[in-house]
Amino acid sequence: MSTINPDLGFKRKLTRLSGSQLNQCMQCGNCSAVCSLAPTERPFPRKEMIWSGWGLKDKLMGNVDIWLCHQCGDCSTYCPRDVKPADVISAIRQTSYQHYARPLFLGKLVSNPVWLPLAIAIPVVVIIAILFLAGTFKIPPGPVDYSAFFPHGLLNGTFSAITLFFYLLASFGIGRFWKDMKIQTPPGEAGRKRLPVFRVLREILSHSNFSGCGSRTPGKVAHLLLFFGFTLLIMVTLYAIWATVTHHYPLPITNPFKILGNLASVMIFSGLGIMTWQRLFNKSVFGKSAYTDWLILAAIALLTLSGTLVQLARFGDWSIAYHLYFFHLVAVWFVIMYMPFTKLGHIFYRTTALLYARSIGRK
């Protein structure tokens, strides 16, 4: 038996983030009936809706199901009271990023526009500090050569170290998330199996769960473009890091990896375009877009745009090349370092939840 501790502050936060009138949910269960994920014995998201209405934060934070949801929007489409379960689930996830963020401050930093100047100032100050220490904090003379501004070894070394540091911090939150999941959804009689890593990987790569729902087909395409665009970019980046050591760097435009990288940019731009379009003009399906949604879309867009410009500036020997490069590095920080605390955190949480769910036999 659990004790009910309503947290009206939490409820009001969900209301603010989702725009949903939670009390108007009449618990009819239509959402569960149309949801392709809802297991028979745990009406999802009907239960999550009343828990949200009662402000039961403790029941929602370690909730597996909300992370299995891929936001297809069927529940909102078929809700007779227009309480938008899909938006409520988004809001719960958003709250989770902040709840599990360690230190908590990092969660707040990227979830409230008030903190945006500080969120920008941190990478700016840190990068300047590194450059200052390296003694390269000035526009180098001659043709554009980024390594003259920020030596490759130093860049790769410091950025990798900082990323690892941020991800290490995030792993504490994810550890707590795992514990909470075990309390909220204990393994059944069958117990927990070995982590089904490959199965989960296959699920993620194939986007197989997306096909279960009807409302957001364009969403699947956009996500696929973005997902594989990023995967390509990561591969290209890893190759680039390796290439700085073994090859002549920078790479010429004809290098196959360079071509792949540019292809990835095109994919990301297309995905972003679809997503922005849907968020602006298809609100009935995509629901309310919050600050965090726009922040991450903007960050990715700026990252990709500045990356492309940095490349052009090198070939065209533009005078503002180093400014663009600096800007690009700040954008990298936003997307990569802040990743566990922004909406992109779902890469970690959803993967963790999938691993847990599949290990206890939850389909």
Partner 1 sequence: MMEAGEIHMALAVCSGCDIGQAIDIDKLTDAASEAKEGLSCIKHNTLCSEAGLAELKRLVLEKGVDRLAVAACSPRVMSREFEMDGVQVERINLREQVAWVMEPGQEDTQMCAEDQTRMVLAKLDTIKDGTPYIPDQLSSDILVVGGGIAGLSSALGGARAGYRVHLVERSARLGGYAGRIYKMLPDSENAATLKEPDLHDTVKELEEHPGVEVYLETSIKSISGEPGNFIVSLENSRVSELQVGAVVSATGWKPYNTEKLAPLGYGSERVKTLEEFEQFVQKEQIPDRILFILCAGSRDENHLAYCSSYCCSAALKQALYVRELNPHAEVYIIYRDIRTTGFQEEFYKMVQADDAILMTKGVIESVSDQGDAVKVIVSESLLDDRVCINADLVVLATGMVPNTTSDLQLQYRLGKGLPEIEYDFSDSHFICFPYETRRTGIFAAGTVRAPMDMELSREDGAGAMMKAIQCIESVKRGEAVHPRAGDISWPELYMERCTDCKRCTEECPFGSYDETEKGTPLPNPARCRRCGICIGSCPERVIGFADFNINSVSAMIKAVHVPDEFEEKPRILVFVCENDAYPALDTAGINRLQYSPFVRIIPVRCLGSINKVWISDALSHGYDGILQIGCKPGDDYQCHFIHGSELTEQRGVNLKETLETMMLEPERIQTRFVEITEHREIQEIINEYVEEMELIGPNPFKSM
- Binding of partner 1 by 3 (CB under 8 A): yes
Whether the link from the prior residue into 186 is cis, omega within 30° of 0, is no
Q: How far apart are CA 169 and CA 95, in angstroms?
A: 18
- Asked whether the beta carbons of 83 and 49 are under 8 A apart, the reply is yes
- Binding of partner 1 by 40 (CB under 8 A): no
- 14-22, 111-119, 163-171, 329-337 -> range binding partner 1 (CB under 8 A): 14-22
CB of 280 to partner 1, least distance (A): 29
CB of 3 to partner 1, least distance (A): 5
Q: Which amino acid is at 29?
A: G
- Binding of partner 1 by 356 (CB under 8 A): no
- Asked whether the beta carbons of 69 and 210 are under 8 A apart, the reply is no
- Binding of partner 1 by 39 (CB under 8 A): no
**All residues at 6 or more sequence positions from 79 whose CB lies less than 8 Å from its CB, including other chains:** 30, 31, 85
- Binding of partner 1 by 15 (CB under 8 A): yes
Q: How far apart are CA 145 and CA 158, in angstroms?
A: 19
State which residue, 54 or 326, has the beta carbon closest to partner 1.
Answer: 54
Encoding tokens for residue 174?
């994810």
- What DSSP state is assigned to residue 192? P
CB of 4 to partner 1, least distance (A): 5
State which residue, 47 or 99, has the beta carbon closest to partner 1.
Answer: 47
Of 10, 18, 34, 51, which lies in the binding site for partner 1, with binding defined by CB under 8 A? 51
Of 17, 45, 47, 350, which lies in the binding site for partner 1, with binding defined by CB under 8 A? 47
Query: Distance between terminal CA atoms of the chain?
Result: 25
Encoding tokens for residue 200?
């989960």
Encoding tokens for residue 165?
């540091």
- Binding of partner 1 by 84 (CB under 8 A): no
CB of 83 to partner 1, least distance (A): 11
Binding site for partner 1 (CB under 8 A): 1-4, 6, 8, 11-12, 15, 21-24, 27, 46-47, 50-51, 53-56
